[in-house]
Amino acid sequence: MTPDAPIIELRNFHYTYLEGTPKASEAIRDVSFEIRRGERVAIVGATQSGKSTIVDAFAHLLRLAPDQVFYEGGDVAAPGYDRGALRRRVGIVFQRPESQLIEDVVGADVAFGPTAAGIGAEETRQRVEESLDALGLPYPEYRLRYVHALSGGQQRRVAIAGVLAMHTPVLVLDEPMAGLDPRGRRELLGLLRRLANDRDLTLVVCSASLSDASLLCDRVVVLSEGRVAMDGPLREVLREAERLSSLDITLPEPVSGARELRELFPDLPADVLTEEELERELIKRLDVA
């Protein structure tokens, strides 16, 4: 396999929940895109745009028809495809993961994935320790705590640790920042960046807001009503700030700031990722004036 081959590919993916019943609802109309190894992709879109359905499709958690979703070139819906192996490679942190903890005790929950994958006890223990430590939950202190007694933010970290411990080459996070306080967000963001660098992960982040995704990802796929509305490098997509906001996508603060300042400086670029960058661009224009 060439290093440039897509690791995940969606080809004319369409999906209807409860198809053939009176409760049918069409979630995905037509979506095609590829994700390459090591890429960091943000999938953004307003609610009901189909993000979560796509996340489920990556690990074949839907009733998929064949020829739509491919992992390393293999059709995941083909008869006889090893779904277990697929799920050991694509790790998913669902929306509100704290409500999806399986075991009662922190250590056991984090060990759930590796154990189910048939990893030996000693290595599982190591992975649990390393994952909990990585999320700022020291292993000796937390491993025997009850998950229900933890705060919401801690529960979320346990859930993420549970997926990290599976050592999947692909990590998918659905709205990882929703409901976290600013400090929790900052910490999680730093952690994810570190992980993506250290472990050479392929990272997919779903969100209704570009402000977190813009700090994590270098490519953005914008969804709207079950179709791909935009797809490109982060800066290129940010330049179309008007269109993004018309699609109900929250812009990063510097970008929305730049958008407002355009009344004064019509040539101010919208693809400013940080406050510093915005400041520099402004100073440049102030000097000229």
Partner 1 sequence: MLELQRNVIFGQFIDTGSVVHRMDPRIKLAAVFAMLVASFLINGFLGFAVVLPLIVLIQVVSRVPLAYVLRGSAFFLGFLLFILFFQVLFYPGEVPASGYLWRWGILSISTEGLASAGILGLRVIFLYYVITMLMLTTSLVDLTNGLELIFGPLQRLGVPVNELVLVFVIAIKFVPIFIDEIERLARAQTARGVPFDEGGAIKRARRIGRLLIPIFVGGFHRADLLSIAMHTRCYRGGRYRTKLRQMSARPSDWLILALVVVWMLAAWLV
78 interacts with partner 1 by CB under 8 A: no
62 interacts with partner 1 by CB under 8 A: yes
Cβ at position 114, least distance to partner 1 in Å: 8
Distance between CA atoms of 233 and 164, rounded to whole angstroms? 26
What pairs with residue 203 in β-bridges?
40, 171
89 interacts with partner 1 by CB under 8 A: no
Binding mask 92-121 for partner 1 (x = CB under 8 A): x-x--x-xx-x---------xx--xx----
Q: At what angle do helices 253-261 and 275-288 cross, to 10 degrees?
A: 20
Q: At what angle do helices 152-164 and 182-199 cross, to 10 degrees?
A: 10
60 interacts with partner 1 by CB under 8 A: yes
Q: What is the footprint of partner 1 within residues 138-157 (CB under 8 A)? A: 148
163 interacts with partner 1 by CB under 8 A: yes
Report whether 216 contacts 193 (CB < 8 A).
Answer: yes
8 interacts with partner 1 by CB under 8 A: no
Nearer to partner 1, 22 or 266 (CB): 22
56 interacts with partner 1 by CB under 8 A: yes
DSSP track, 102-153? -SSBHHHHHHHHHHHTT--HHHHHHHHHHHHHHTT--HHHHTTSBGGGS-HH
Q: What are the CA-CA distances from residue 238 to residues 80, 144, 267 (Å)?
A: 42, 45, 15
Residues lying near partner 1 in the complex (CB under 8 A) are found at 17-18, 20-23, 56, 59-63, 83-84, 87-88, 91-92, 94, 97, 99-100, 102, 112-113, 116-117, 148, 162-163, 166
